Amino acid sequence: MPRPDDIANQLLDLKAPLNVDGLLDAVVALYNDCNFPVLKRIRNIDAFIKRNQPTITQLENSRLKGSDFDLIKVIGRGAFGEVRLVRHNDSRKVFALKLLDKNEMLRRADTAFFWEERDIMAHAESEWLVRLHYAFQDRTHLYMVMEFMPGGDVVNLIC
């Protein structure tokens, strides 16, 4: 059985499978998935929504979101969304932001690649891979904020 200090260390380690950011994402996603009129008719789900609404609102207001970035221009489009050149409102740093539509990904049943790409960029320590700075989600989109590498995408550079 894991010791409490082991769990605490894992929660603070952003590379651990069990970490605070992952748990907060899961709680917000669960809340959002339950917050549909058809599901709120179920008494326990409605009670969950009402009990946790203030906490979720506080979490959403304090965490990174799409509106924290200003669009400079769209630099690519794909099957699930687009890549944008953006500037972070507070730091004024420029990033590439991959914006993926959740409904489109679920419709095509192809969400696994998002998690693989996110994990590779988040945990790899290679000068040959683009660094992931932030990953987050809202009700409709998944976001990956990564370093901007001018020059286009690898597929077009190879051709």
Query: Which residues carry a binding-site annotation for ATP?
Result: 98
- The backbone region for 151, taken as left when phi is positive above 0, alpha when psi lies in -120 to 50, beta otherwise, is left
d(CA 13, CA 10): 5
- How far is the C-alpha of 11 from the C-alpha of 105, rounded, in Å? 29
Extract the annotated binding site: 98
Q: Which amino acid is at 92?
A: R
* CB-CB contact of 86 with 92 (8 Å): no
